[in-house]
């Protein structure tokens, strides 16, 4: 005589977990822009900065962020490969397009940052070093590079994570700067 085996409810757990993950992945990839990281800073005043002056370069101040005109705030580091890739683009933007860019160097050392800017060129109107990581946290920075468009009242209008390429400049940064100027 054979015994009848009952089905364990645990047998259904792996397929249910798989189905739940599949739904979450589907929702994630069907968003308007699946590569965009959300930011709670859009539409809010730029947080105060707690930066140390980088050598004898002009320091970034809170007053500068609230000064008239649209500006970019770029979080960068010499250790960041994407930052190094975007650097020539920042130089073109500052030199050829007269775009005001403020730099926030973080997770770096002053000697390395200063040597890099001396060797590669300095696209920043002002620059400071985030030695404590507080500014990075307050701005909601996930990694480097990240660039923010800030309007003349000091309100953040756009956050772009990743390097600024020609396409990003034309399709994202410049339209956001035009909108922030209105």
Q: Per residue in 90-109, pLDDT tens?
A: 999 999 999 999 999 999 99
Q: Residue 14's pLDDT is what?
A: 80
- Phi first, then psi, for residue 87 (nearest 5°) are -55, -45
Residue ranges per domain, the chain? 52-181
Q: Per residue in 105-150, pLDDT tens?
A: 999 999 999 999 999 999 999 999 999 999 999 999 988 999 999 9
CATH topology of domain 52-181: Glutaredoxin (3.40.30)
Q: Residue 34's pLDDT is what?
A: 46
Instruction: At 17, list the tokens.
Output: 């977990």
Please state, for a pLDDT cut of 90, what percent of the chain lies above it.
72
Q: Residue 135's pLDDT is what?
A: 94
Q: Residue 139's pLDDT is what?
A: 94
Q: Model-level pTM?
A: 0.79
Do 132 and 50 contact (CB within 8 A), yes or no? yes
């Amino acid at each position: 005589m054979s015994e009848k085996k009952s089905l364990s409810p645990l047998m259904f757990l792996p397929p249910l977990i798989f189905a739940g993950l599949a739904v979450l992945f589907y929702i994630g990839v069907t968003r308007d822009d699946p590569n965009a990281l959300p930011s709670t800073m859009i539409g809010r005043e730029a947080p105060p900065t707690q930066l140390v002056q980088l050598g004898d370069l002009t320091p970034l101040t809170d007053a500068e962020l609230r000064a008239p005109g649209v500006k970019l705030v770029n979080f960068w580091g010499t250790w960041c490969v994407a930052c190094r890739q975007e650097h020539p683009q920042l130089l073109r933007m500052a030199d050829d397009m007269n775009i005001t860019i403020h730099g926030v160097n973080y997770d770096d050392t002053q000697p390395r940052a200063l040597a890099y800017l001396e060797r590669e060129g300095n696209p920043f109107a002002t620059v400071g070093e985030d030695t404590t990581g507080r500014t990075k946290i307050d701005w909601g920075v996930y990694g480097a590079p990240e660039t923010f468009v800030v309007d003349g009242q000091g309100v953040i209008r756009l956050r772009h994570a990743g390097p600024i390429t020609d396409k990003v400049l034309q399709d994202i940064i410049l339209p956001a700067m035009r909108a922030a100027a209105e």
